[in-house]
Amino acid sequence: MKILIGIPAYNEEQTVSSVIKSIPKKIDKINKIDIVVVNDGSKDATARVAESSKATILNHIINRGLGGALKTIFAYGKLLNYDIIVTFDADGQHDSRDLSCLIRPIVENKTDVVIGTRWKKNKNVPFSRLIVNKIANIITFLLFGVWSTDSQSGFRAFGKKAIQLINLQSDGMEVSSEFFREIFRNKLRYTEVPINTIYTNYSKSKGQKLSNAPNVFFQLLLKLLR
């Protein structure tokens, strides 16, 4: 099996190198591990730093947003016929030692999609993140009928069936919830795996914010009504 680690990155020159270097060189039952960084119109040295760390770089001329970067990762993964795609944040909050546990249900053909949930292991969760996530979980369930304890997690794994069927439309942060629409629409098997999260001042400054919740909800509603 061959796996693609897809890293969306926007102005992540501080952390992207260490994130790339943290990815294990070997994973049980995986023959090939590739890393692709989507430089989403960064204004800093993200692309240069990532390239010097021996990752494949796909550059967006302009900043398209998280959804746009993930669409590029999926297009690349489909084109090169990967068996598994893992999405991995560039801000250093994910622990790459969780990779084996994340992909195991797919390797064992028990599921099509795995979401790494931050709320089953981590006790020192920033309160603002907890509130944003709970609101997003409820909205995601009401719109798409799939319950998740961590709908906004960026640490996800997708098997070959999911890679072929998922068709993302969003360019913005609402893409995290849109995955659950695709799980429901395509009748994909889905499970969650507990993961560790590394919270730093830098990583806490990234990701979903409470002030962005109304816009995310509005964008998701538009997708549902189309």
Q: What is the pLDDT of residues 108-148, one digit of tens each?
A: 999 999 999 987 665 566 666 678 888 889 888 988 889 99
pTM: 0.89
pLDDT score, position 28: 92
Give the 3-state secondary structure of residue 117: strand
Q: Which two tokens stand for residue 118?
A: 């931050």
Average pLDDT over residues 153-158: 96
Distance CA 210, CA 176 (A): 15
What burial letters (b/e) apply to 13-41, b meaning 16+ CB within 10 Å?
bebbbebbeebeeebeebeebbbbbbbbb
pLDDT score, position 139: 86
pLDDT score, position 126: 67
Q: Looking at domain 2-225, does it have CATH number 3.40.50.1000?
A: no
Q: Which of 186, 210, 198, 204 is nearest to 155 (CA)?
A: 198
Sign of the CA dihedral running 53, 59, 60, 66: negative
Distance CA 88, CA 19 (A): 9
Q: What spatial distance separates the first Cα and last Cα of the chain, rounded to whole Å? A: 37
Q: Is the pLDDT of residue 26 over 80?
A: yes
Least confident of 59-63, 86-90, 136-140, 151-155: 136-140
Alpha helices in 53-98 (DSSP H): 66-79
Q: What is the pLDDT of residues 10-22, one digit of tens each?
A: 999 999 999 999 9
